[in-house]
Structure 1
Amino acid sequence: MTMTVRLQLQPAKLVFPKPVRLWTGKQIFSLILKPNKKCKVLANLRTKGRAYTSGEEMCSSDSFVNIRNSQLLAGVMDKSTLGSGGKANIFYVLLRDWGEDAATTAMWRLSRMASAYMMNRGFSIGIGDVTPSHGLLRLKRELLDAGYKKCDEFIKSQEAGRLQCQPGCTDEETLEAVILKELSVIRDRAGKACLQELDPSNSPLIMALSGSKGSFINISQMIACVGQQAISGHRVPNGFEDRALPHFERHSKTPAAKGFVENSFYSGLTPTEFFFHTMGGREGLVDTAVKTAETGYMQRRLVKSLEDLCLHYDMTVRNANGDIVQFLFGGDGLDPTYMEGNGCPVELQRVWDNVKANHPFRNEKPMSAADIVEGSEVLLNSAEFECCSEEFRNQLKSFVEKQAKKWSDIHEGWSLTCPVIYELERITLSQLIHFFQSCREKYLNARIEPGTAVGALAAQSIGEPGTQMTLKTFHFAGVASMNITQGVPRIKEIINASKNISTPIITAHLENDTDPEFARQVKGRIEKTTLGEVSEFIEEVYVPYDCFLLIKLDIERIRLLKLEVDAESIKFSICTSKLKIKPTQVIVQSPSVVTIRPPSNSKESIDFAMRSLKEALPSVVIMGVPNVNRAVIHEEIDKGVKKYKLLVEGDNLRDVIATRGVKGTKCSSNNTYQVFATLGIEAARATIMSEIKLVMENHGMSIDHRHPMLVADLMTSRGEVLGITRHGLAKMKESVLNLASFEKTADHLFDAAYYGQTDAITGVSESIIMGIPMTVGTGLFKLFSLTLRSKNQNPVRLQKRALLFADPSFHTNTIKSAG
């Protein structure tokens, strides 16, 4: 198909010495959006690209995109502005502001042009693209030598006992953490050197920069260094008698012996490096295979329990029995499909910029800042905006106030010094009215329709990102050794409402969060401390006519750990422990010495009693919450101020909140059941929502908050936290066929037959089984016909009425207008 377009602009580039006029890429792209003056599409977009550094339009890598009235003025178009997903996408802007046709036409033009360009010019990769230069090889060797030297120093200092332990880590764990950090720095630096050495026309580099395929890590692995091979997030573990492979010395901790690959794919891997690389690769394959089954079952459970939730005509979300799960879907009754910015129906800044660019109203005088605020108040309080929620009106109000302040700053001194900016930023009454009308229209379009199967949508929206997650992922919560479960296992824990989760962590904020000494004191109050940890020694003492255990306390250690214990409190802890020791048996000799006599009326021999007591005493808890294994002080910088909080590894939320020095109102736990037992059902609901959101964010995904909200509401709708499992489902659902179509089919059917249960056939699964229309979507509403009766109870004959299209006058008009 040939197509002729009369272009309205001239080539912008003039190349010397032979004066040749050339088109720029930005002009070509502008033509894709708006090929001629007849085209009414005036798209506007300002956003950062993938390679953005600083300075907006003055960005050194030209990665700040500025499209004004469909003219690409600055920036390189890459995956962030052309690819799928994300709100900073030109096709998304076209879809939202100019409709489906404008977006699809622009996509069609771009794909036609790109394929024609590729056919004429070609795009391929050869061995020359990944051949390292001599300079790069020299730099790589220097980096490796320096890195290996540092690793050797770390190993020697650990063997000599000089390596300072990281918070919450043993010296072994600390060594692994510092070596891993050093080795990852080698690969990163080698990768950066690669990028500087490569020519801008290098094909892998073009793909990585634009985001079409591959990354900078792939390039550096091909050219410079493959890097550390990780298994379950750690270096390759020992397998062959204290070593990873028999080719290395026993107990060797050198980079090469624990899976560091210093070669690139270009130079080729050594046999041991190849073996380590296949170990890392195998983990990925197993992970993928297991993950498919895990996520598939998880999604099936979600869909099965949420399938019958749908939006009714009173805007409530109800299940098949008519029980209310949400009084208003998502709290605002808006459709997630139509959301623009951060779950909001209108991306206010973009609409504001769009109105200023498309509707300049040059003949009108600009308004003052006070007039803008006053005008917005009048418009928001008008009858037109009564259909909008109060939250949305408040958002609009605060946004306009912010813009008015910005305008007053410009208005003061820029009208004379910089008339261009003054003209661009001026705001007129017509522009303000147009802005509010656009926002209202978008809000009304975004309202969700009754009949929408919101449950199935929520289940799919949580289940689908699960397929993109890795199975064994750990996220370091600010501390090297404190792993928290992430990915699919974590989502499973949340929706199963597990009572015992794999990594329970309580985040405790402190009453004084700027003092590290105070944080150490509170840590000492929470963390479980045993007698053995604060004793220099525990000895059996035998003297004539007497024998006892002598406990020597390490006073210096107690002082350093900020523990609020002394000999008397230790005596109390020993007497209240499970050892059943009476206060008369324990004598405090001095602040650092305590003696304990064995019970005199014991059936065992004195010798046996002494030895069993000596073995049991070191494990007596003298301070802290018994089922808290450890607490780690987490340091973070907030507005230039160092702030401290505690990350507590354990399940006892109630005791942590009650600890002196902890700000109880700001404590949170990732164990939903613990939160429910301590703070109630509403807190549990909030925890489910925040935890699902956190897992998604840690994997670089974002889902609309309305979907996790619906799942959380369903799980907590019965007043207790019910998991989305066969047990939770049985308590949520009443339909026999629904339960039988999920799990334990024979059991449910047998029980139903035995007890004579009935099924009203109202849900989705039951309707499908029975082959009748389900009550979601267009099957939700029902038509009632009212039979008119006369006074003597006889039906009134209805008059036959002519159909609308049988009306002759209508028919004539239609023919005329068609003609």
Structure 2
Amino acid sequence: MKLTRGLSSDEALEAYIVNELSKARDKAGSTADQSFDEKNSGRIMATTGARGSSLNIGQMAGALGQQSRRGKRLLTGYNNRALPHYKQHDDNPDSHGFVKSNYRDGLSALEFFFHAMGGREGLVDTAVRTQQSGYMQRRLINALEHIRLEYDGTVRDPHGHIVQFLYGEDGIDVAKSDHGEAFNINRLIESQMIIDSGKKATEEVISAIAKKYTKTFNPRLKTNVNEALLDSKLSKDGIEVVCKKGLELYNKAKVEPGQAVGIVTAQSIGEPGTQMTLRTFHFAGIRERNVTLGLPRLIELVDARKKPVTPTMDIYLDEESKTSREKAIEIARNVLQTKVSSVIDHSDTNYSTEIDLFFNSKKLKDRGLTVEEIDQVLQSNKKFKTEQKGEALHLKLVDESDVPTVIVIRNKVLNTTVKGIPDITRVTLVQKENDWVIQTTGSNLAKVFEVKGIDKKNVRTNNVFEIVSTLGIEAARNALINELNSTLADQGLEVDLRYIMLVSDLMCSKGYMQQIGRHGIAGSKDSILARAAFEITVPTIARAALAGEIENLKGVTENVIVGSNIPIGSGTVDLYMQIAKKN
């Protein structure tokens, strides 16, 4: 049996079994699917996509397939078996939750029990997910509620602090847009082509007309329009009509002053959160690294956590090294953290003055290390003298110590990093196109930059906080946008980039990363009532009274509490009336 990289033989066997069982389920399903008549109601529903899929038909008429819990087969329960009805160490798929029956014939008692185990996980998952995503949405709404669009096109909070100079970097209202674009240039051209007559306009004419009409467009839209017009076969008049219509649509699609862009943003990110899965881990690529996904990752990002649950890096190599596997392995060895404990066979001590370390030559060779190099690293410690004896190191303590002290010293020695970068616990070489890329578990951006042979302009980490401290706030803002975007896209959810940009810009607007919750944006609001209405009510009010703070009633929450107009939409405008003076 061929082993897969990154898996032990047992794990690999398990992966193969799961693969075969899912093939069996699919085969039973497709056989059932094909045996149905074209006029069968169930089949019509599945093929037209009205409801359900061929998987559902397969479960009704073929076989139910493997039941899973936390993404694995039902392996544990009693001693070496899932249920007491089976013998210990039974390898039969049935004893680990493979259901051969279908819904039409009905399940046996054991199959039903396994099916209930799998179904329970779904129920618990739904219950936990709703509260987690509900709380995330509440935090988002609270942080963004007072953010609105001003008359100069900027996005600001009520105190006039600028969050974005131009909403979404193009000032287009997502609700009025055509799938995120102000207008669909290709559709305009196609509809014009139907009635267009006359010879094709020249490049100069097209460029001149386009330049006249696209002055106010943002650069990306400008290039799209230009390219589409140059590719089209429209006449001069046709081009003029298309440009006019485009400009008209562009002006109609703009955001309006006073619009509550903050609340719309919070809702647009909060709502998909309820549809995300809680299945946190899966293996990226070759089952090598665990990656947090779905709702937990989204919450991790808006919380601006200092350490993500599963930090990972993608390290690209420079021109010389990226095509050679040997050089890539060499660099990977320099990146991977090697502690003394990962290259020794065993250690001995007499618990008073001596510690002996016995190294494993194969492990040393794998990590590209020698005993001399380890000896050099350990010599900096003043508590003991080192002496090399072949494949072993003898440490003689300077002072005679008691047992706990010796154990502490020994553990410190075993934990010493002798090569590589701290925190990087695992490396994998992956080939992308023809270049080798190092993927790591664990992240340490600042130190990775010091390694020779890497492309310093192309090192990626999913730890946004590390990016702030190493590369600065602007890089972190971009990283945050990318991470939020890919997290939502992985779940098959389409959230417009403008929303993600607003959240990222708000989190980074003060020049450092701020969390969305009470330790960040919501907690640092100027308004006392707004802070008190969110969380930690009494201490907030008590502290404000002690400091003699003043409530300016500029935001949304405060005005709702006192019953005034909220400064959003038509509430942004104050009307004054001048009464004619009597002569």
Q: Given the two structures, how large is their TM-score scaled by the length of structure 2?
A: 0.92
Looking at structure 2, the residues matched to 481 and 246 of structure 1 have their Cα atoms a distance apart, in angstroms, of 34
Decide whether aligned partners of structure 1 residues 469 and 444 sit closer, same or farther in structure 2, where only a CA change above 3 A counts. same
> How far did 1:762 drift?
0.9
Asked if 2 retains the 8 angstrom alpha-carbon contact of 1:506 and 1:669, the reply is yes
Residue in 2 that maps onto 1:302: 140
1:581 counterpart = 2:384: yes
Looking at structure 1, the residues matched to 452 and 92 of structure 2 have their Cα atoms a distance apart, in angstroms, of 46
> How far did 1:725 drift?
1.0
Decide whether aligned partners of structure 1 residues 653 and 580 sit closer, same or farther in structure 2, where only a CA change above 3 A counts. farther
Looking at structure 2, the residues matched to 355 and 193 of structure 1 have their Cα atoms a distance apart, in angstroms, of 49
Q: Secondary structure of the equivalent of 1:387?
A: coil
Looking at structure 2, the residues matched to 759 and 751 of structure 1 have their Cα atoms a distance apart, in angstroms, of 13
Residue in 2 that maps onto 1:455: 262
1:623 counterpart = 2:419: yes
> How far did 1:612 drift?
8.3
Decide whether aligned partners of structure 1 residues 440 and 594 sit closer, same or farther in structure 2, where only a CA change above 3 A counts. same
Looking at structure 2, the residues matched to 614 and 761 of structure 1 have their Cα atoms a distance apart, in angstroms, of 62
> How far did 1:189 drift?
3.1
| Counterpart AA for 1:182 | E
> How far did 1:496 drift?
0.9
Counting only pairs closer than 5 Å after superposition, residues 346-745 of structure 1 correspond to structure 2 as: 346-357=183-194, 359-361=195-197, 364=198, 366-367=199-200, 371-382=201-212, 384-401=213-230, 403=231, 426-511=233-318, 512-535=321-344, 537-538=345-346, 549=356, 551-555=358-362, 557-559=363-365, 561=366, 563-576=367-380, 580-582=383-385, 585-587=386-388, 589=390, 593-599=391-397, 601-604=399-402, 619-636=415-432, 641-745=433-537
Asked if 1 retains the 8 angstrom alpha-carbon contact of 2:383 and 2:397, the reply is no
Decide whether aligned partners of structure 1 residues 482 and 261 sit closer, same or farther in structure 2, where only a CA change above 3 A counts. farther
Decide whether aligned partners of structure 1 residues 255 and 335 sit closer, same or farther in structure 2, where only a CA change above 3 A counts. same
Looking at structure 2, the residues matched to 481 and 381 of structure 1 have their Cα atoms a distance apart, in angstroms, of 51
Looking at structure 1, the residues matched to 95 and 326 of structure 2 have their Cα atoms a distance apart, in angstroms, of 41
Q: Secondary structure of the equivalent of 2:287?
A: coil
Residue in 1 that maps onto 2:116: 278
**C-alpha RMSD of the superposition:** 2.7
Decide whether aligned partners of structure 1 residues 252 and 760 sit closer, same or farther in structure 2, where only a CA change above 3 A counts. same
Decide whether aligned partners of structure 1 residues 533 and 514 sit closer, same or farther in structure 2, where only a CA change above 3 A counts. same
Decide whether aligned partners of structure 1 residues 735 and 530 sit closer, same or farther in structure 2, where only a CA change above 3 A counts. same
| Counterpart AA for 2:323 | T
Looking at structure 2, the residues matched to 477 and 548 of structure 1 have their Cα atoms a distance apart, in angstroms, of 42
Residue in 1 that maps onto 2:546: 754
Residue in 2 that maps onto 1:61: none
1:259 counterpart = 2:66: no
Gaps of 5+ in 2: none
Looking at structure 2, the residues matched to 671 and 215 of structure 1 have their Cα atoms a distance apart, in angstroms, of 38
Mean CA deviation greater in 669-678 or 761-770: 669-678
Decide whether aligned partners of structure 1 residues 747 and 569 sit closer, same or farther in structure 2, where only a CA change above 3 A counts. same
Asked if 2 retains the 8 angstrom alpha-carbon contact of 1:514 and 1:643, the reply is yes
Decide whether aligned partners of structure 1 residues 707 and 550 sit closer, same or farther in structure 2, where only a CA change above 3 A counts. closer
Residues 740-777 of structure 1: CA distance to partner in whole angstroms, max 9, x if unpaired? 11111111112222222110101111111111111111
Looking at structure 2, the residues matched to 709 and 763 of structure 1 have their Cα atoms a distance apart, in angstroms, of 22
Residue in 2 that maps onto 1:411: none
Residues 654-686 of structure 1: CA distance to partner in whole angstroms, max 9, x if unpaired? 122322222222112222212111211112211
Q: Secondary structure of the equivalent of 2:305?
A: coil
> How far did 1:309 drift?
0.3
Residue in 2 that maps onto 1:158: none
Asked if 1 retains the 8 angstrom alpha-carbon contact of 2:312 and 2:439, the reply is yes
> How far did 1:728 drift?
0.8
Percentage of identical aligned residues: 33
Looking at structure 1, the residues matched to 349 and 208 of structure 2 have their Cα atoms a distance apart, in angstroms, of 89
Asked if 1 retains the 8 angstrom alpha-carbon contact of 2:375 and 2:393, the reply is no
Looking at structure 2, the residues matched to 199 and 752 of structure 1 have their Cα atoms a distance apart, in angstroms, of 74
Residues 180-230 of structure 1: CA distance to partner in whole angstroms, max 9, x if unpaired? 222222223333333333322222221122221111211111111211112
> How far did 1:730 drift?
5.0
Gaps of 5+ in 1: 1-162, 405-425, 789-794, 798-819
1:322 counterpart = 2:160: yes
Asked if 2 retains the 8 angstrom alpha-carbon contact of 1:598 and 1:613, the reply is no
Q: Looking at both structures, which has the greater relative contact order when contacts are Cα pairs under 8 Å and sequence separation is at least 6?
A: 2
Greater gyration radius: 1
> How far did 1:250 drift?
2.6
Looking at structure 1, the residues matched to 282 and 187 of structure 2 have their Cα atoms a distance apart, in angstroms, of 35
Mean CA deviation greater in 216-225 or 652-661: 652-661
Asked if 2 retains the 8 angstrom alpha-carbon contact of 1:308 and 1:764, the reply is yes
Q: Given the two structures, how large is their TM-score scaled by the length of structure 1?
A: 0.66
> How far did 1:581 drift?
3.5
> How far did 1:372 drift?
3.7
Decide whether aligned partners of structure 1 residues 171 and 621 sit closer, same or farther in structure 2, where only a CA change above 3 A counts. farther
What count of residue pairs does the alignment treat as equivalent?
579
| Counterpart AA for 1:567 | V
Residue in 1 that maps onto 2:54: 216
> How far did 1:617 drift?
5.6
Decide whether aligned partners of structure 1 residues 429 and 651 sit closer, same or farther in structure 2, where only a CA change above 3 A counts. same
> How far did 1:450 drift?
0.7
Decide whether aligned partners of structure 1 residues 197 and 438 sit closer, same or farther in structure 2, where only a CA change above 3 A counts. farther
Mean CA deviation greater in 285-294 or 468-477: 468-477
